[in-house]
Amino acid sequence: MNVSTKIPTNGGWWLDKYGEAWKQQIEAVKSKFGGALEEVRDPWTYPTDVPIIYVKKDSLIQLLEFLKTDPAFAYSYLADYTATDEEVSPRFELVFNLYAMDRGHRIRVKCRLEEGEEAPTCISVWPGADWAEREIFDMFGVRFTDHPNLRRILMDYRWVGYPLRKDYPIDGFQLFPDAEAPDPERLK
């Protein structure tokens, strides 16, 4: 923490520095996407460090593409891509932590999903999202439409269950007698 500045909320000094820009950006996103947004949580009214934009699944890729390419936003760097299990309906939330490299702004985009619902893949926006999506599938069981190689990444390919779901037990183990052989299908 920067000790030269007091921390009023968990947004810290970011609010002083980026607050005005965030306000303008939230207004701009609201006017452009309007009905496609579910909700916008800002750091002034909700305990978060950066604004959170909840977007409907159908407009997710469109919004990410807009945030990435529009010069007023330029959130061109995918800092982190993960999911959370909220244990209510809709159950899962995809979480994008975006970073604007030129100005140092951060923002968060979320997309709610029902259990069993497929999400659109964002490999077209960031090629590096490939493994992150595989990890979300591995850990939460969220499937991605049109993902070229949606298979488990950290767990064994024979694993049963999705470990980071809240109803998954923390003890117990699954044993596999042999290692995974190289798969020529993936080397074509």
Residues that bind another protein (CB under 8 A): 1-4, 6-10, 12, 46-50, 52, 76-80, 82, 84-85, 95, 97, 99, 101, 104, 106, 108, 126-128, 130-132, 135, 139, 153-156, 163-164, 166, 168, 170, 177-188
Q: How far is the CB of 91 from another protein (least distance, A)?
A: 13
- Residue 74's alpha-carbon distances to 13, 78, 80, 93, 146, in angstroms, are 21, 11, 16, 23, 26
Nearest to 40 by CA among 22, 26, 53, 57: 53
Tell me the two tokens of residue 70: 């529009």
Q: What is the DSSP string of 64-115?
A: HHHHHH-TTT---EEEEEEEEE-SSSS-EEEEEEEEETTTTEEEEEEEEE-T
Instruction: CB nearer to another protein: give 66 or 99.
Output: 99
Q: How far is the CB of 14 from another protein (least distance, A)?
A: 9
Q: How far is the CB of 62 from another protein (least distance, A)?
A: 19
Instruction: CB nearer to another protein: give 58 or 90.
Output: 90
Instruction: CB nearer to another protein: give 50 or 64.
Output: 50
Q: How far is the CB of 120 from another protein (least distance, A)?
A: 18
